[in-house]
Structure 1
Amino acid sequence: MVIWLRAQQGGIGIERDVVRAADLAQLIELDRASGHFERRADELLASARREAETIQRAAEEEAERVLRAAQTKYDNAARLGYEAGRRRAIREAHEAMLHGAASERDLLVALRERIADIVMRTVTRVLGEAERDALFAQIAVGLSRSLEGTSFLTVRVAECDLDEATRAFRRVCDEHRWPVNPEVVSDAEAEPGSCVCEWDHGLIEAGLPMQLRAIASAIRRVTRTDTEPQTAAAVNIAADELLDDAPHFDDRQIDDPQFDVPHFADQPAGAPQ
């Protein structure tokens, strides 16, 4: 009699009550083989599970490494991008500042030129409206200090100024008792308002053209110096107003001391001042 016990998973069994000895031996062999394969299957399954767990852990570690590398690369790229953007922004800001400075300098130069032009036109307008008789009289008065011991005085003026210059010099000659009588002659090459005086001790050039050239030279020197744009704008506005509202001078204003001609030092004959 044989009592057969198996696990719940099932296995090798018999279907009849009577079993021959040869069949029983084969049955026992098959049962052993079945148990062996079951154990082998369990071992393979356990090994597969361990390998799967190992692969999973390696994959997780690799994923973490890749993620860290990606984050590091992202951080580096962000930092490099920020630095590059910052450098580019600084470069563009510097370029804009340089361009703005150049534009402001060009504007300032243009303002200076306009100021010089306006001031010069204003001065020309004011002086041009002065009475020529008073102008020549002031030149003659200034010349009185240099005529001591002279034997002649020749005054050359433009043809259009001959009458005014003659009257002015003769009047000053009588008032100051000059030792010589001035000879006032016209010069075809003389500019209107100009006056060239020649005597024993030298020669001087006076009149409006000389004064205007001196003023123009002074204006050019002033406009070469650096000034603030606000100052240039203020002067520009003031110059415009001055040009529009320039006063008209009469004889009393021309006789004011501020319009006196400078004192002339004696110079060798033929040496212009």
Structure 2
Amino acid sequence: MIVWLDRKQRYRADVGIEQDVLRAGEYAAVLSIDEAMARAEAEARRIVGDAHSHAASIRESAMAEAAATDAAAQARWEAAAAEGYAAGLRKAHDDANAVMLHEARDAYTAMASAQARLAHLVMAAVERIVCESDRNALFARVTLRLQRLIDEASFVTLTVHPDDVARAREALGLLRDTVGRHAALDVVSDANAPVGSCRCEWDNGVFVTSLDEEMASLRRLLERERMAAPDPAPAYDVEQHAAQYPDLNDAPIEGTIEDTIEGTIEDYAPQPAYGAAA
């Protein structure tokens, strides 16, 4: 027969005896076996529970590690994308400055090279308007005035906030030697401009950036220019003409002849290319 000692227990193995009569020793043995089975079952449940808990912990740890790895990979990708974008933007900025600078320098060189021809054209026009007995003195005066107008031609204007004017002038001071020794480079103060912004207006285009980025771009550009620039062509010697006619050194800029010369020069001066910014 089978004797259940605890009906609440449902062991996988049945505990019982075959005899109809239990002796005291046999009964004690049955009780001991029953207790052992209960302890074994409880231990088994504990082991299984611990195993489930450990597995859940491993799963959560693996998921957290995977999420951290994914986040780190995403952060690296975003950093690389941002770095690539910044590098591309920096290169585009440098290329734009280089194109504008080369065009400005070419325009300055072209005007300087055409100075002699312009002077003769202006001479012919002025001789028809005013009477000047000394043609050499008139030519020297025309040449000197023409050189001044060429030197005062502005190739780039930076519009910045009033607080940034000093730094903008510093940037243009670096640029001046590359564009031309006498080239006029303007800084315009605009209280409506955001602090740190910079609007660059070249003869052939306009772009807006920050002043720090513009100064950094100009420094990089000028460093390359210094390394690759050929020997500069000799500039037109205005002082030599002035020395030949010392009376012109003290001559006033204003006056009928000077006004006529300036107006005639402006009529004959080269005009910006089609499509260039005014």
Q: Which band: TM-score by shorter chain?
A: 0.3 to 0.5
Q: Which has the larger radius of gyration?
A: 1
| Larger RCO (CA within 8 A; separation ≥ 6) | 1
The alignment's TM-score, normalised by the length of structure 2, stands at 0.43
